[in-house]
Structure formats: structure tokens, C-alpha cells
Amino acid sequence: MSLQGVLVLNLIALALLLWVLNLVRHGRLYVGYGVIFVVATIGTMLLVSVPWLQTTLTHVIGAVFPVSALTLLALCFIVLMLLYTLTQLTIVSNRLSKLRSVPAQTKLGVFS
């Protein structure tokens, strides 16, 4: 990758890091999500900045071009984040349904 491309991607990643940290600081983003994004962003910056890491990743994945390997890595990250978010949503939904059923059971005399 060209030096200009590395610089642009690193500037975008730095802006993303600052934005995520600001969201966590103001309580608008859960700290766990913030840690995941910070680690992923720093890892991406390292992969883009260090050429031998790109080459190694490309050969390990079996891709022809480094861009293909980075795209596959990004797709894996998106799928894992989607799975994690849906898991957390399910936990919250189950807790909410338990909370909503307690007053109804109390009115029916189930807990009396």
C-alpha cells in the first residue's frame, strides 16, 4: 500500500478512536463495545502500517492481494460484532420479559 494510503487510513482510524473514546466518556457507548472497537482499530492500524504483517496475513488466509485479506478480516469483525450485539439484546429481552411477568403473576396470586 502506498504511503499516502497508509496515512489516510491511519488518520481515519485515529478519528474513529477519538470518537469512540468520547462516546464512552459521555456514557453513550458501553465500555465493552468501546474496548472491542479500540482493539480492532489499533489492530487495523498495525496491519495497514506494517507491510510484513500484511504479507503474512495474506499468505495465511490464502488470498492473492492484501486488500482481499483485509476485506475478509473486516467481514469477520462485522459478523462477530453482530453476533455479540444480538446476544446482548437477547439477554436484555429475556430480563425484560421476566420483569413484565412478575406483576402479572402477583395479581393472579401465584406468589401469594
Residue 86 lies in a domain: no
Q: Mean pLDDT, the chain, as a whole number?
A: 88
Residue 56 lies in a domain: yes
Q: How far apart are CA 9 and CA 70, in angstroms?
A: 13
pLDDT for the residue 107: 64
Confidence (pTM): 0.72
pLDDT for the residue 110: 61
Number of domains in the chain: 1
List the domain range (segments joined by +) for residue 7: 3-77
> pLDDT-based confidence at 20, cuts 50/70/90?
very high
Residue 105 lies in a domain: no
Q: How far apart are CA 68 and CA 89, in angstroms?
A: 31
